[in-house]
Amino acid sequence: MKDYIIHSEWKVIEDGFNPDNNRISESIFSIGNGHTGQRANFEEKYSGDSLQGNYLAGVYYPDKTRVGWWKNGYPEYFAKILNAANWIGIHLEIEGEELDLATASIQKFRRELDMRTALLTRSFVATLPSGKQVEVVAKRFLSMKQQELGAIQYRLRSLNFSAPVRITSFIDGDVMNEDSNYDEKFWDEVEKEAQGQEVFLCMKTKKTGFYACNGQHTRLLVNGKALVVKPEILPKEKQVATVFELDLKEGQELLVEKFASITSSLHYKKEAMLAHGKQAVQQAQQKGFDQLFAEHCQLWEQKWETADIEIKGDVAAQQGIRFNIFQLMQTYTGDDERLNIGPKGFTGEKYGGVTYWDTEAYCLPFFLGTAPEKVAKNLLMYRYKHLQKAIENAEKLGFNHGAALYPMVTINGEECHNEWEITFEEIHRNGAIAYAISHYINYTGDRQYLAPYGFEVLLGISRFWAQRVNWSEAKQAYVMLGVTGPNEYENNVNNNFHTNKMAVWTLNYTLKVIDYLKRDHPYLFEEMIQKWKFNELQETAVWREIIEKMYFPLDEKSGLYLQQDGFLDKEIIPVQQMNQEERPINQNWSWDRILRSCYIKQADTLQSFYWFQDEFDMETLTRHFDFYESITVHESSLSPCVHGILAARIGRREKAYELYLRTARLDLDDYNNDTEDGLHITSMAGTWMAFVESFGGMRVKNGQLLLDPFIPESWESYSFKLNYRNSHLEIQMSDELKITNHNPGSVSVTIWGKEYELVENQEVVLSKEVKI
């Protein structure tokens, strides 16, 4: 855990230069616009430790799998979001001496990320080894308005010298991924062009054949006046640059403005990319930095308008929650159904930047609550588009007749992960993808989505479950053998409660969907029957039989549903009673010891109790919470939020607050010592969930929005916003509760168990003893 980020309500601030934290800061100060994003690398040369990162959404490379012992069914490759061309480069040489923060002496270093506008500002005074002193202020942003644009304003003032200065403004495509399995480079140069202030570089990925084209217009001003220097062009392999040379006088300020275009063949025709890039940088430099920035800020304002959470009385908490929301909005804008949310977003390479079940379980609720309906819908459409691949994936594992198994890790629908216990067995993910459909419809009311998209996915997943279970003669019930639940500290277990539950739930839900389709969309349904060779009578009979006769591990004595068969054979020692020096166990224990211990990495049985909380009475929820929470080590950043929400639900508000705090500032404080690899983007969505569902007590039951707010004692007030169907709600909580619907029309909301009709702009004020 570190504590060097200065607390501030709207800003993330680093004051003073600490090269040891540089990789962490590079992650924290990352910026992005949903289509491209980058770590907070320096513009000028930096010979110190750094992880360079520029990423293009959806542009990946199939890196050959590295595995010691191959197993049948393993994927051949791991798709990785690529480190792409570095376009921020502005190198400066002063009388032959390079400005390099690793060799200069640095004062007044400050990095500031304005979350309201996604502007990154960095300033410092550097004394070069020769004694020459410069003052630098660099600003940059990635346009939210025009997603292929980035702009930099780089100001340098001579404090104590007059000397010739050489400025190289470049694009460097000669980059690689640090986590490349076989130290390969993934990009080839296609073409480049250089005409004075404008240079362009087009690259192509090996194997996948994605094109990426970077362009830039660089201009130079001295003391505010554009300088007409004849720039030199410096092309190297996979590089292109504009070079300016001038004499800088003591006290003079030099301003380099760089207008960059960043396009990929995911969004532009290969043939047209160069031309489009030229046009884009032309227009950008004509508009200028300030106008581009103003347009960009307008979009951010709209985003905050619907997504902000305000906390009064706790600046650290305020900064934490805003940082999470900010990063999520940078990562995914929801305007392209081919994109998704990687665990590190645009802030690092780890986990390949690809899609996990995090999207359905954590990110979907955030985007449902804070963004237009289409954003969440596009997350569902992403999976719909991968249905055929999911069917092929299941076929590889021996399933047939349209059974679909969605991958554990994917970017294009194909499985990437290659640990058998995860890839082949962590199949509850299939349930999460089905659940997301119901969640979306329950929240939005958009039942149209079921025909054909929702139903087709549900059919494939239901077929999978029906084939994946088997009849146990011994138990006279259906069982599911050889699975791994969300708690990855257990592998290859039998009858994981959560997985069995997801299977039965999916089958049930699909049956209900069929009833709805037959009634409301009979023709469309008939078409789907033909398309999928769906033998309704026969297949649903099997499903009903499974629903009726599925086995769930239950300990009669304690009344506990067990995480899996045999769970109570373990020694049950509460986390609080274990030797705290041995925590986290994933760093201190061998894997086999972890596996046979009772300790749970993240919500597993409780994931079901969270999703299906309305099926259980409060006493049952409490009994299960108490048992499982006492042996959960929360060694995944995705863990505390679900437990926190359940804690709030059963009235354990202090516990809910304690669990919330574990993730709220995870990256800002580098809680797990791994922020240097990138931010925990998908966990951030879990933090939002924990806020809104714990403190706000928000959930939707049978299409009705419920709220059950309380406020942690240390806070004065908080407010959050919710898009819910056609309403836009603002919930303000202090000693009293105020709720306003800012949209036209009215909406019915159940607050503290009582129904209210919220009419446009009519504030409802309620008071209750709610402090914990």
- Chain residues in the site for a second copy (CB under 8 A): 65-69, 71-74, 396-398, 418-421, 424-425, 470-475, 479, 481-482, 491-495, 555, 565-566, 568-572, 586-596
> What is the nearest approach in angstroms of a second copy to the Cβ of residue 482?
4
187 touches 173 (CB < 8 A): yes
Check residue 317 and give left, alpha or beta (phi > 0: left; psi -120 to 50: alpha): alpha
Nearest-angstrom CA–CA distance, 60 and 187 = 11
Nearest-angstrom CA–CA distance, 505 and 666 = 33
Nearer to a second copy, 16 or 482 (CB): 482
Nearer to a second copy, 491 or 663 (CB): 491
Nearer to a second copy, 182 or 523 (CB): 182
281 touches 169 (CB < 8 A): no
Of 198, 456, 488, 693, catalytic: 488
Known binding-site positions for substrate: 357-358, 601-602
Q: What is the token pair recorded at 766?
A: 């309620």
> What is the nearest approach in angstroms of a second copy to the Cβ of residue 664?
28
Nearer to a second copy, 302 or 470 (CB): 470
> What is the nearest approach in angstroms of a second copy to the Cβ of residue 53?
22
Q: What is the token pair recorded at 35?
A: 């289509």
Q: What is the token pair recorded at 598?
A: 């009772």
Could you give the dihedral angle defined by the CA atoms of residues 680, 686, 692 and 697, in that order, rounded to the nearest 10 degrees? -160
286 touches 103 (CB < 8 A): no
Nearest-angstrom CA–CA distance, 729 and 751 = 13
Q: Which of 731, 683, 55 is nearest to 324 (CA)?
A: 683
> What is the nearest approach in angstroms of a second copy to the Cβ of residue 420?
5
Pairing of strands 470-472, 477-479: antiparallel
Helix axis angle for 653-664 and 315-331, nearest 10°, is 60
| Type and span of the H or E element at 283 | helix 273-287
Pairing of strands 746-751, 704-707: parallel
144 touches 120 (CB < 8 A): no
Nearest-angstrom CA–CA distance, 213 and 207 = 17
> What is the nearest approach in angstroms of a second copy to the Cβ of residue 536?
26
Active site residue 571: no
Check residue 450 and give left, alpha or beta (phi > 0: left; psi -120 to 50: alpha): alpha
**DSSP E strand stretches across 546-690:** 554-555, 560-561
Nearest-angstrom CA–CA distance, 422 and 399 = 17
Across the strands, what pairs with 172?
86, 239
Nearer to a second copy, 244 or 351 (CB): 351
Nearest-angstrom CA–CA distance, 711 and 656 = 11
Nearest-angstrom CA–CA distance, 636 and 628 = 15
260 touches 87 (CB < 8 A): yes
| Type and span of the H or E element at 135 | strand 133-142
> What is the nearest approach in angstroms of a second copy to the Cβ of residue 550?
13
Nearest-angstrom CA–CA distance, 750 and 742 = 17
Nearest-angstrom CA–CA distance, 27 and 23 = 6
Q: In this structure, what are the phi and psi dihedrals at residue 90, rounded to the nearest 5 degrees?
A: -135, 100
| Type and span of the H or E element at 520 | helix 497-520
> What is the nearest approach in angstroms of a second copy to the Cβ of residue 362?
22
Give the Cβ contact number of residue 72 at 10 Å.
Answer: 9
Known binding-site positions: 357-358, 601-602
Task: Please report where in the chains the tokens 């006279």 appear, as a residue.
Answer: 476
> What is the nearest approach in angstroms of a second copy to the Cβ of residue 65?
7
| Type and span of the H or E element at 261 | strand 253-264
Residues noted as catalytic: 488
